[in-house]
Structure 1
Amino acid sequence: MSGTGRTNAKLVDVELDETIGRSTPDVEHERAVAIFDLIEENSFAPVNDDAGPYKLRLSLVESRLVFAISRENSEPVVTHILSLTPFRRIVKDYYMICESYYDAIRSSTPSQIEAIDMGRRGLHNEGSQTLMDRLAGKIEMDFDTARRLFTLVCVLHWRG
């Protein structure tokens, strides 16, 4: 999917509610950066809704990620609940390869670093596609938005 193609089909605010929990200052910084990147550039809209832009409030309920979508004026639009189970392996593998990447930066050749980075990007793409697939028929977004949203999902798992 190439996105919604509508100029009002975008997120203007992303909030993490108290169920997400707080973490170390480094993790909180990474979460803030992920949210900033997502808001800065995105294509996002609930299916069959043309009255954006939107706000997104994320929360966790029993290992499920809750997407509470509202209009810019905070009027509720729809809530979708997404199981995080399909993402556990991808997120775990993604963190492992990120650790390998950071270790490689210190001691490996450029070609080894590039190979690890290609694997990291491949896992990130896999997670992004899984996110798009799981939200298909519920939320329209382009692949770049799915990548930014998957980054946020990863940072939500990171405890520091």
Structure 2
Amino acid sequence: MLCVSLAAAAVGLSGAALADSHGADDHAHDADKALVILTSDSLQTQGMAMILSNAMQQQGTELQILLCDAAGDLAVEGYSSEGINTPPGHPMEQVTPEGIMQMLMGEGASVDVCAIYLPNSDHGEDDLREGVGVAAPGPMAEMMRDPKIPVYSF
């Protein structure tokens, strides 16, 4: 896991250096950001959303992940999904969406549950994994409206 994290950092740093070396515009120093909204209860969809988020993070993207509906369960401490098989050549044979999510958080990704997740579940804020917050609608709407921040929904 540490090797994957170090490789992610190296790829992210080399991507930033490449952008600067090619005369990127004045926004080159602004962080490349993305908002990933995950609502699906499908294990493969959750896994692929996290795998693609990991690839974006390795390429230098600052991630904000919003977990809503059934995907909010990934944020609950102690929640454990089944492992999913990875494609050939992946450093790990099986992964879980919440495992990748925690790795992303360790590399700086912000993860929140939707504002309505907790009031509509059997969980409270104390049940969330360390580092997971509760999204406020206003700031989330600002990110969604910002044309410089792509929004990916799964």
Fold equivalence (TM over 0.5)? no
Larger proportion of helix: 1
Larger proportion of strand: 1
